[in-house]
Amino acid sequence: MKEKVLIVPCSGIGKSLGSVAREGAYVVTEELCPGRTQLMPLALLVLGDKETQIELSSAGAIAIDGCVRACAAKVVEGAGGRVAHGLQVLDVCRRHPDLKPSGISELDESGHKLAHALAEEVKELVDNMRGEVSHA
| The pLDDT of residue 1 | 46
Q: How many Å apart are CA 112 and CA 121, to the nearest integer?
A: 14
The band of 135, judged by pLDDT with boundaries at 50, 70 and 90, is: low
Do the domain assignments include residue 105? yes
Q: How many Å apart are CA 14 and CA 81, to the nearest integer?
A: 26
The band of 127, judged by pLDDT with boundaries at 50, 70 and 90, is: very high
Mean pLDDT within 75-94: 95
Could you tell me the maximum CA-CA distance found in the chain, to the nearest angstrom?
42
Give the domain extent around 107: 5-129
The band of 133, judged by pLDDT with boundaries at 50, 70 and 90, is: low
Q: How many Å apart are CA 72 and CA 43, to the nearest integer?
A: 10
Angle between helices 16-27 and 109-129 (to 10 degrees): 50
Do the domain assignments include residue 69? yes
CA angle 70, 81, 129 (to 5 degrees): 90
Q: What are the backbone angles phi and psi of residue 90, rounded to the nearest 5°?
A: -60, -40
What is the per-residue pLDDT across 4-42, written as a single tens digit (0 to 9) for each? 999 999 987 888 999 999 999 999 999 999 999 999 999
Query: How many structural domains compose the chain?
Result: 1
DSSP β-ladder status, 37-39 and 5-9: parallel
Do the domain assignments include residue 38? yes
Do the domain assignments include residue 93? yes
| The pLDDT of residue 60 | 87
Do the domain assignments include residue 29? yes
Do the domain assignments include residue 136? no
Q: How far is CA 135 from the centre of its chain?
A: 20
- Residues written for the chain: 136
| The pLDDT of residue 111 | 95
| The pLDDT of residue 35 | 94
What is the per-residue pLDDT across 32-79, written as a single tens digit (0 to 9) for each? 999 999 999 999 999 999 999 999 988 889 999 999 999 999 999 999
Do the domain assignments include residue 106? yes
